[in-house]
Amino acid sequence: MIKIHQLSAGHDSANVFSNLNLTLREGEIVSLLGANGCGKTTLLRTALGLHPKRSGSVKVNNQDFHRMDAGQRARLISYVPQYHRLAFGYPVIEMVLMGTQAGKSGWRRPNAADRENAENALELMNIDHLRNRPYTQLSGGQRQLVLIARALAQNTPIIFMDEPTNGLDFGNQIKLLEKIRSLKSQGKSVLFTTHHPEQALSTATRAISMRNGQIAKDGRPRDVLQVEHLRELYQLDERQLPDGYWPTSFINTNTTRQDVA
C-alpha cells in the first residue's frame, strides 16, 4: 500500500536519515521505535509531505504521494501529530468534524453522514461527554484523544500516529492501544511511533527500530525487540535492562509470520 524508497531528509546541512526504504501493507499495525533524535517524527512528516525531502519517493497504491494535491492526500492518510497548538477554542465536536471535511473540495457544511462519523468517533474514543467543551480548555491527554477521533472521522485507509499515547493516563493508554489493534480488522494500516517497546509487543503486528537515521531491524515485534537489541538501541547495560525483562503478557500471541515484511 505504501512504499517509501530511498528517502532522505534533514535539517539545515545535516541529514536525519538517508536512502531509507520502508513498506506498509494493508491491515498492518506497525510500530516505529528508537532513541530520541533517531528520525522517527521526521520520517513521518517527510512521508506526509509536511517536511521537505532531499531525495527518494513515497508511493501509495503505486501513485506518487508527493505529486498528489492536498485533497487526494487527505483521502488516503490521516495524521495524529505528537503536539498540536490551536489558538481558537472550537468545541470538540467541531474539531472532530474537521476530519470529515479533509479531502473535500471547497467549503461546505457537514452533512448528516459527516456528523454521524464524528459522533461515532467521539463515542469510540469515549469522549462524547466532551463534545461541547472548547478544545483549548482540555488537558493534554484529552486533546490527544480529540486528535485521534478527528483522524478516525477522516476515515482514511492509512493512519500515521506520532506517539499517540503521549499525555494519556495509564487507563487511556491501554484503551487506545486496544482501539489501534481493532483497526486491523477494518483493513486499515497504522504506522505509529512510540517510546515504549511494550506497546509494540502488545499492539503491533510488526516492529521497526531506527538508529542513526537508518532502519536497524524490521520484523515481528517479539523478534525485533529482543533485550540485547534494546540495549544497543537505547545504550543500556545489563544492569539497566536485565535478561528476561519481558513478561509474556506483553507479547501479542496473535502475531504470525504472515504479518512480517
Burial of 201 (0-12, 13-18, 19+ CB in 10 A): buried
**Domains contained in the chain, number:** 1
Structural contact between residues 184 and 26, judged by C-beta atoms closer than 8 angstroms: no
DSSP 155: T
> By mean pLDDT, which of 74-78, 131-135, 225-229, 252-256 is the weakest?
252-256
For residue 213, give every residue at least 6 positions away whose Cβ sits within 8 Å of its Cβ, in sequence order, or none: 15, 16, 17, 18, 20, 38, 39
- For 28, other C-beta atoms within 10 Å of its C-beta total 21
DSSP 26: T
- Residues 166-189 have a mean pLDDT of 92
Residue 260 in this model has a pLDDT that exceeds 50: no
pLDDT at residue 81, rounded to an integer:
92
| Full-model pTM | 0.90
pLDDT at residue 259, rounded to an integer:
43
Range of the domain at 36: 2-259
In this predicted model, what pLDDT tens digit does every residue of 213-233 receive, in sequence order? 999 999 999 999 999 999 999
pLDDT at residue 65, rounded to an integer:
97
**Nearest CA among 245, 250, 202, 209 for reference residue 227:** 245
At 31, which amino acid appears? S
- Residues 231-239 have a mean pLDDT of 94
CATH number for 185 = 3.40.50.300
pLDDT at residue 109, rounded to an integer:
81
- Residues 117-140 have a mean pLDDT of 94
- Residues 167-177 have a mean pLDDT of 92
Q: Average per-residue pLDDT in the chain?
A: 90
The C-alpha atoms of residue 3 and residue 5 are separated, in whole angstroms, by 6
In this predicted model, what pLDDT tens digit does every residue of 1-46 receive, in sequence order? 899 999 999 998 899 999 999 999 999 999 999 999 999 999 999 9
pLDDT at residue 155, rounded to an integer:
93
Pairing relationship of beta strands 29-33 and 206-211 according to DSSP bridges? parallel
